[in-house]
């Protein structure tokens, strides 16, 4: 039997149409995930319950950790804020992007006039996130994401604000690194309108984030919630202060809370009720955003990253917290200065798992791109690698991690550079060229310097460290010709005889039932609780 040509034509038309539809369906890209990135300022490794604190209460942050992957060896790329923030957005180590200290810190001869009487003059640094970089939000915008920033920026003056680096909306990001008006409205922030008197800053930033998500729930979004908390000035409400004062008393108040470090006293106890209240208020704000994602049905479509920009403030600033068993804190070359809570929640992947592979802030950029199905930009995130294999339970290649902080800062750390390879950590000090070696697997507290009996390893790691620093164009400190040992000893004598006792007195005052801040920031209690 012959088939009519017209029937053949009809059959061919429908067959090709069917295959065409199947081809298009097979090639269609899956729905892009949303990304919520939460960055907490000065948040220490043990400043949340899930990481071991028995004093602070952080149920919402803990939930992110338990529903995602906890990177136990997660790091900031610097012991102070601006450099770490630049690394997250650029995927570059600090020595490469050149922002090696918090923007505004004094260098050179200006540093020598601060009265610290130190041996070295810190080098200058880059004072704004370079505009020529393609940042993480810019890469996501290219892929169709709506981008949003709320909170602390501290990566340059006007012309280098969030909206200049890929964020469609900026709520509160500008030059300053601390909340100019404190944690209650009026905020004194040119990019954040004041709310009702006493409105809580952390909650306001959370509400701004929720509003952005509501307005963009039908498209892929990148929301970067960068709290000013828990940076000083530390503030709370009377209710939260009373809760944590009573808790500290129930746990037993130590007679002494500080030990003298190299330059400054370092806090050894988590018992500051004002700081604890500030932590809880920030966690409350995190909870508001998590609840909104659930109510809008977006929680199973949203990747959540959570970390801090440097260690908790154990010395300098507000002397707020202790990072023990990690040594020291913000501004220091030890683990307390650089190791961070580091959580990534990807719906459907490794809920509640822990990973001990060393990872760092530069890794967020390529990780988020890969999770979003976007081609990596290795020429941009030069020093970061995707953590997706780890999130899937696989491994990544061993690699060295490097830190470069040729400054003194405000917390008492020393100008130094660090390299970590596997379990080994080498610290090079610029004052006298000495080097310390620690095995972090056996000595997380960094109490035992193993350099004397491991000279070969020290030499190998030191050579690699400086090869990497020189390749990145690192700058180094210079000797201060005006320094004398007598001036430094005189300054340290003042710290030990005057400052240390004053800190102990202030600590006990915060824990006194009669404590009165006498500046009315509890007058807004009803608005915030």
CATH number at residue 96: 3.40.720.10
pLDDT in tens, 123-164: 999 999 999 999 999 999 999 999 999 999 999 999 999 999
| pLDDT-based confidence at residue 235 (cuts at 50, 70, 90) | very high
Strands 69-71, 146-151: pairing kind: unpaired
Domain assignment present for 25: no
Ramachandran quadrant class, 252 (left: phi over 0; alpha: psi -120 to 50; beta: rest): left
| pLDDT-based confidence at residue 528 (cuts at 50, 70, 90) | very low
pLDDT at 525 over 80: no
pLDDT at 62 over 80: yes
The chain-wide mean pLDDT, for the chain, equals 92
pLDDT in tens, 464-511: 999 999 999 999 999 999 999 998 999 899 999 999 999 999 999 999
- In percent, the amount of the chain with pLDDT more than 90 equals 88
pLDDT in tens, 300-317: 999 999 999 999 999 998
pLDDT at 330 over 50: yes
Supply the pLDDT for residue 24: 34
Q: Which of 13-22, 178-187, 239-248, 272-281 has the lowest mean pLDDT?
A: 13-22
**Mean pLDDT across 225-248:** 95
pLDDT at 523 over 90: no
Supply the pLDDT for residue 522: 55
- In percent, the amount of the chain with pLDDT more than 70 equals 92
Supply the pLDDT for residue 340: 98
How far is 239 from 242, CA to CA, in rounded Å?
A: 5
The residue segments making up the domain with residue 176 are 32-398+486-517
**CA-wise closest residue to 261 among 193, 201, 334:** 334
Q: Which of 87-101, 233-247, 391-405, 515-529 has the lowest mean pLDDT?
A: 515-529
pLDDT at 320 over 50: yes
**Mean pLDDT across 317-335:** 97
pLDDT at 25 over 70: no
Cβ proximity of 42 and 313 under 8 Å: yes
Supply the pLDDT for residue 455: 97
Domain assignment present for 452: no
Supply the pLDDT for residue 1: 40
Q: Which of 38-42, 86-90, 167-171, 514-518 has the lowest mean pLDDT?
A: 514-518
Q: How far is CA 334 from CA 80, 329, 432, 445, in A?
A: 12, 7, 18, 9
How far is 476 from 46, CA to CA, in rounded Å?
A: 32
pTM of the predicted structure, to 2 decimals: 0.92
Domain assignment present for 433: no
Supply the pLDDT for residue 521: 59
| pLDDT-based confidence at residue 96 (cuts at 50, 70, 90) | very high
Domain assignment present for 6: no
Domain assignment present for 439: no
Here the tokens at position 461 are 């790691």
Give the three-class secondary structure for 285: helix
**Mean pLDDT across 32-38:** 97
User: In total, how many domains does the chain have?
Assistant: 1
Domain assignment present for 206: yes
pLDDT at 432 over 70: yes
**Mean pLDDT across 332-349:** 96
Supply the pLDDT for residue 9: 40
How far is 57 from 257, CA to CA, in rounded Å?
A: 20
DSSP string, 397-454: ----EEEEE-S-TTTT--SEEEEEETTEEEEEETTT--EEEEETTT-TT-----STT-
pLDDT in tens, 353-405: 999 999 999 999 999 999 999 999 999 999 999 999 999 999 999 999 999 99
pLDDT at 416 over 70: yes
Supply the pLDDT for residue 518: 72
Q: What is the CA radius of gyration of the chain?
A: 25
Supply the pLDDT for residue 182: 93
How far is 23 from 27, CA to CA, in rounded Å?
A: 6
């Amino acid at each position: 039997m012959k088939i009519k040509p017209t029937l053949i034509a009809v059959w061919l038309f429908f067959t090709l149409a069917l295959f065409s539809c199947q081809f298009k369906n097979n090639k269609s890209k899956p729905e892009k995930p949303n990304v919520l990135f939460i960055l907490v300022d000065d948040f220490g490794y043990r400043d949340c319950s899930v990481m071991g604190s028995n004093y602070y209460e952080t149920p919402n942050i803990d939930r992110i950790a338990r529903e995602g992957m906890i990177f136990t060896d997660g790091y900031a790329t610097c012991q102070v804020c601006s450099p770490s923030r630049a690394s997250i957005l650029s995927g570059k180590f600090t020595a490469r992007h050149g922002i090696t200290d918090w923007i505004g810190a004094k260098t050179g001869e200006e540093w020598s006039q601060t009265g610290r009487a130190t041996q070295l003059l810190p080098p200058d640094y880059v004072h704004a996130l370079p505009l020529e970089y393609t940042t993480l939000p810019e890469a996501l915008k290219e892929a169709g994401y709506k981008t949003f920033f709320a909170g602390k920026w501290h990566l340059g003056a006007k012309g280098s604000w969030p909206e200049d680096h890929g964020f469609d909306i900026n709520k509160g990001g500008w030059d300053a690194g601390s909340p100019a008006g404190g944690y209650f409205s009026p905020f004194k922030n040119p990019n954040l309108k004041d709310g009702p008197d006493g409105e809580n800053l952390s909650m306001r930033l959370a509400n701004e984030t929720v509003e952005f998500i509501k307005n963009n729930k039908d498209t892929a979004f990148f929301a970067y919630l960068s709290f000013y908390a828990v940076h000083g000035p530390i503030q709370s409400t009377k209710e939260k202060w009373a809760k944590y004062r009573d808790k500290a008393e129930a746990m037993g108040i130590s007679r002494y809370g500080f030990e003298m470090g190299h330059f400054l006293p370092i806090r050894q106890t988590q018992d500051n009720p004002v700081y604890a209240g500030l932590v809880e208020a920030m966690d409350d704000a995190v909870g508001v955003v998590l609840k909104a994602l659930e109510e809008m049905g977006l929680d199973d479509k949203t990747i959540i990253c959570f970390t801090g920009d440097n260690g908790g403030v154990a010395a300098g600033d507000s002397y707020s917290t202790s990072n023990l068993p990690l040594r020291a804190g913000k501004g220091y070359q030890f683990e307390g200065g650089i190791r961070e809570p580091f959580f990534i929640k990807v719906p459907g992947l490794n809920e509640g798992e822990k990973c001990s592979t060393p990872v760092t802030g530069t890794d967020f950029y390529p990780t988020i791109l890969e999770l979003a199905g976007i081609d990596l930009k290795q020429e941009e995130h030069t020093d970061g690698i995707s953590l997706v294999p780890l999130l899937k339970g696989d491994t990544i290649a061993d690699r060295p991690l490097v830190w470069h902080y040729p400054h003194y800062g405000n917390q008492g750390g020393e100008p130094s550079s660090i390299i970590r390879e596997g379990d080994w950590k080498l610290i090079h000090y610029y004052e006298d060229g000495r080097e310390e070696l620690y095995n972090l697997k056996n000595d997380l507290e960094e109490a035992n310097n193993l350099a004397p009996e491991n000279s070969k390893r020290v030499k190998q790691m030191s050579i690699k460290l400086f090869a990497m620093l020189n390749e990145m164009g690192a700058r180094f400190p210079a000797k201060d010709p005006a320094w004398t040992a007598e001036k430094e000893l005189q300054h340290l004598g003042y710290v030990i005889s005057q400052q240390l006792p004053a800190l102990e007195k202030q600590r006990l005052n915060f824990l006194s039932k009669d404590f009165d801040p006498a500046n009315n920031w509890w007058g807004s209690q009803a608005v915030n609780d």
